[in-house]
Amino acid sequence: MNETTVETLIIGAGMSGLATAAALGRGASLAIIERDGEPGGYCKTVKQDGFVWDYSGHFFHFKHAEIEAWLRERMVGQEIRTVAKKSFIRIGGKLVDFPFQKNIHQLPQADFIDCLHDLYFAKPDPADTSFKGMLYGRFGRGICERFLIPYNEKLYATDLGKLDRDAMGRFFPHADVADIIRNMKQPDNATYNATFTYPRGGAIEYVKALLTEVEPSALKLSEALVKIDLEKKVATTTKGTYRYQRLVSSAPFPTLLELCGRGTPDGYSWNQVQVFNLGFDAKGPRDVHWVYYPERDVPFYRIGFYDNIFDGDRMSLYVEVGLTREGKGAATLEQVIEALRRDGTVTTQKLVSHHSVIMNPAYVHITSDSNAKVSAGRAELAKHGVFSLGRYGGWTYCSIEDNIVEARALVASLKQ
């Protein structure tokens, strides 16, 4: 067994781990342990039969211009498109603009009146701090039961009454009665992701940009962390041991606790997402980037069209199915294609290439209990020089840009 000594040991070569390494810089004493055979985490890209697919659609919405510029400087020669998003909800056989709550006037008149009536009389219940309670209290039964509840239950694969009211943070498109009425007269469907950017080579191009700032020898692929001795500051992997001064982990937080010998933690729950990437021989619908599906007889909750980003001439889709933590609810390829035929997305096109991946965990179930446990647990580990970060290390809902912001802030605080 090898024994190595480093100042910083990083667990995971996804966006968070690599952004940490890039912020520390090439001269830093560090190693990045990644159990997979390639870097990228959930930001990997699959190239197959001329199609470019990610592990589910990974589009980029930058709030920090300097982060976007920093990445682009390291993506020389890569075509990157900025696209005005076109997204819809398929309901009752028709497409309604997203977000649903701001476009109820596009529903058949009777549905519109129900939604409007219930919206007007919606009343928040201060005693109900759940995500479901927040939805009913703000939007009323009509909007909730047609879209917000069934869609989010398909996605999270759990009872929304168990999730914290802020389970989606800034990613939830809030709107009050005044916004909704205004939108009926003058559409303004802007959400946090009104425009997105995407590189021709797929999401992995952003990973490659981070890798330009990482010493190649620091990246240890196909090597998994199996144990951390917090007192001795020694990490054991499948290939050796590492003495470290500080350890930065982007592994899922409950896994990290187990690796630190804290037993199997309870109170953590999450969903899995089954992703189908589908390539066809001919073009499908145009002028659409993604579609949300609240109806329960459709196995997936969302689909997206890669071919409408770079104007490809063959339909290239990702299809997302929400599964329980145990993996219940999985769809077959045949069921997916059949549902796509029913709604007219697939007509005469032939499927010529496909790929599938399961993201586990995908969306963590954010509850007041998990929030309290994660924040106390992170503070406790930090006392031992172990810092847990990233979407799963922080047990949260966030974007890739958030991962970079968090990693940079951590490195800045460590350098003080």
Shortest Å distance, C-beta 162 to ligand FAD = 19
Kindly tell me which of 143 and 207 has the beta carbon lying closer to ligand FAD: 207
Paired with 53 in beta bridges are: 46
Q: Is 251 in the site for ligand FAD (CB under 6 A)?
A: yes
Q: Is 14 in the site for ligand FAD (CB under 6 A)?
A: yes
State how far the Cα of 129 lies from the Cα of 133, in Å rounded to an integer: 6
Q: Is 277 in the site for ligand FAD (CB under 6 A)?
A: no
Kindly tell me which of 136 and 151 has the beta carbon lying closer to ligand FAD: 151
State how far the Cα of 363 lies from the Cα of 402, in Å rounded to an integer: 15
Q: Is 13 in the site for ligand FAD (CB under 6 A)?
A: yes
State how far the Cα of 393 lies from the Cα of 45, in Å rounded to an integer: 22
Q: Is 322 in the site for ligand FAD (CB under 6 A)?
A: no
Kindly tell me which of 15 and 209 has the beta carbon lying closer to ligand FAD: 15
Shortest Å distance, C-beta 214 to ligand FAD = 13
CA 361 to centroid of chain Cα atoms = 10
Contact call for residues 284 and 346 (beta carbons, < 8 A): yes
Kindly tell me which of 133 and 377 has the beta carbon lying closer to ligand FAD: 377
**Binding flags for ligand FAD, 48-67, as an x/- string (CB under 6 A):** --------xxxxx-------
Q: Tokens for 240?
A: 């050796």
One of 88, 136, 280, 392 touching ligand FAD (CB under 6 A): 392
Q: Is 34 in the site for ligand FAD (CB under 6 A)?
A: yes
Kindly tell me which of 118 and 401 has the beta carbon lying closer to ligand FAD: 401
Q: Is 12 in the site for ligand FAD (CB under 6 A)?
A: yes
One of 10, 400, 404, 410 touching ligand FAD (CB under 6 A): 400
Q: Is 151 in the site for ligand FAD (CB under 6 A)?
A: no
3-state secondary structure of 414: helix
Handedness of CA 173, 175, 179, 181 (dihedral sign): positive
Identity of residue 218: A
Q: Tokens for 394?
A: 């922080």
State how far the Cα of 364 lies from the Cα of 361, in Å rounded to an integer: 7
Whether a cis peptide bond, with omega within 30° of 0, leads into 216 is: no
Angle at 172 between CA 167 and CA 176, to 5 degrees: 120
Q: Is 398 in the site for ligand FAD (CB under 6 A)?
A: yes
Q: Which residue has the tokens 């701090």?
A: 129
Kindly tell me which of 43 and 96 has the beta carbon lying closer to ligand FAD: 43
SS3 per residue for 308-363: HCCCCCCCEEEEEEEECCCCCCCCCHHHHHHHHHHCCCCCCCCEEEEEEEEECCCC
Q: Is 154 in the site for ligand FAD (CB under 6 A)?
A: no
**Binding flags for ligand FAD, 344-373, as an x/- string (CB under 6 A):** ---------------x--x-----------
Kindly tell me which of 133 and 304 has the beta carbon lying closer to ligand FAD: 304
The set of residues, in sequence order, having a beta carbon less than 8 Å from that of 318 and lying 6+ positions away, is 53, 54, 56, 57, 275, 276, 277, 278, 303, 304, 306
Shortest Å distance, C-beta 185 to ligand FAD = 31
Q: Is 199 in the site for ligand FAD (CB under 6 A)?
A: no
One of 28, 35, 95, 236 touching ligand FAD (CB under 6 A): 35
Shortest Å distance, C-beta 22 to ligand FAD = 12
CA nearest neighbour of 158 among 299, 266, 294, 269: 269
Q: Is 71 in the site for ligand FAD (CB under 6 A)?
A: no
Q: How many residues line the site for ligand FAD (CB under 6 A)?
A: 35
Kindly tell me which of 119 and 225 has the beta carbon lying closer to ligand FAD: 225
Q: Is 36 in the site for ligand FAD (CB under 6 A)?
A: yes
Q: Tokens for 211?
A: 């890798």
Residues of this chain that bind ligand FAD (CB under 6 A)? 11-17, 33-36, 41-43, 56-60, 224-225, 250-251, 255, 273, 320, 359, 362, 390-392, 398-400, 403
